[in-house]
């Protein structure tokens, strides 16, 4: 076949989006033996027995095959709000259940950013976050600063960038994404760093989005996982890792009430 004509090309946004590295690795390893891939976070334990039993029971319920609330079942959302209050210190706000944390993050990007709005990720970043920003048109002004040598976000660099943009050097940042603990680093961000990032974002009118997918993965002797909240803060969570429910595609997002 010849080259695809201009009339039938994919959108510029999609063509500017990176190929997912996990898919690339799967293609490289297809048909190979004796090779272990570390490209994707896949836990070795199954879902909790209670979840499996509830899933089997739900298959026979008529309501499972009907349209449901767009933001998730009310009883699940109520349980998640209680979990957020007790375990994460997030009291109030709203919760939306999504098809995994990646859909939650994409929903957030589509809701908060217009095409071309400036966004920030600290390197090394989670590749799906970059892809979500690319495919929605924010790749034109992405600030991708390196993390500090200990793989913590460089709050000093963030402060300097926000101040420079406030002077009119560049368009203002609209959104900063942090991952806690980091993906791919596994490094936990201490509460003081989260608080300072939140304070800076609030003072400059920047949305702070925190991906807490690995919230239950703590190392002994290290800082525990903590969350920040506020009118400018969005928190993303997932059932995939700690509960071994990768294929179930269940995540949720906690956001301030309108």
Contact 138, 171 (CB under 8 A): no
Q: Residue 83: count other Cβ atoms within 10 Å of its Cβ.
A: 15
**What pLDDT was estimated at residue 250?**
94
SS3 label, residue 121 = strand
Q: Which range among 69-78, 132-141, 194-203 shows the weakest confidence by mean pLDDT? A: 132-141
**What pLDDT was estimated at residue 83?**
97
CA distances from 120 to 12, 131, 137, 173, 206 (A): 21, 13, 14, 7, 10
Average pLDDT over all residues of the chain? 91
Whole-angstrom Cα distance, residue 172 to residue 178?
Answer: 18
Whole-angstrom Cα distance, residue 93 to residue 81?
Answer: 8
Q: Which range among 97-101, 219-223, 243-247 shows the weakest confidence by mean pLDDT? A: 219-223
SS3 label, residue 63 = helix
Mean pLDDT of 246-253: 93
Contact 96, 71 (CB under 8 A): yes
Strands 251-255 and 94-98: antiparallel
Give the HSE-up count for residue 202: Cα atoms under 13 Å, Cβ half-sphere. 13
- 239 or 140, which is more confident? 239
- Residue 155 pLDDT level (bands cut at 50, 70, 90): very high
Whole-angstrom Cα distance, residue 4 to residue 12?
Answer: 14
SS3 label, residue 4 = coil
The 10s digit of each residue's pLDDT in 5-55 is: 667 888 887 887 777 777 777 787 788 888 877 777 788 899 999 999 999
Strands 173-179 and 94-98: unpaired
Q: Residue 189: count other Cβ atoms within 10 Å of its Cβ.
A: 21
- 10 by Cβ neighbours in 10 Å (0-12 / 13-18 / 19+) ranks as exposed
């Amino acid at each position: 076949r010849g080259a695809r004509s201009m009339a039938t090309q994919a959108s510029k946004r999609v063509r500017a989006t990176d190929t997912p590295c996990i898919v690339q690795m799967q293609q490289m390893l297809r048909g190979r033996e004796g090779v272990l891939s570390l490209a994707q976070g896949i836990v070795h334990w199954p879902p909790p027995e209670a979840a499996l039993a509830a899933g089997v029971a739900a298959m026979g319920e008529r309501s499972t095959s009907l349209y449901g609330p767009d933001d998730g079942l009310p009883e699940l959302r109520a349980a998640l709000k209680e979990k957020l209050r007790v375990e994460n210190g997030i009291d109030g706000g709203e919760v939306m259940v999504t098809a995994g944390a990646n859909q939650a993050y994409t929903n957030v990007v589509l809701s908060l950013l217009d095409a071309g709005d400036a966004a920030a990720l600290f390197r090394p970043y989670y590749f799906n976050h970059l892809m979500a920003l690319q495919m929605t048109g924010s790749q034109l002004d992405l600030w991708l600063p390196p993390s500090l040598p200990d793989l913590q976000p460089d709050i000093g660099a963030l402060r300097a960038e926000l101040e420079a943009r406030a002077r009119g050097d560049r368009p203002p940042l609209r959104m900063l994404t942090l991952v806690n603990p980091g993906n791919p680093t596994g490094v936990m961000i201490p509460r003081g760093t989260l608080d300072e990032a939140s304070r800076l974002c609030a003072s400059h009118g920047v949305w702070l989005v925190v991906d807490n997918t690995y919230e239950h993965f703590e190392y002994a002797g290290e800082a525990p996982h903590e969350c920040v909240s506020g009118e400018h803060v969005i928190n993303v969570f997932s059932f995939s890792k700690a509960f071994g429910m990768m294929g179930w595609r269940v995540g949720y997002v906690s956001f301030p009430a309108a």
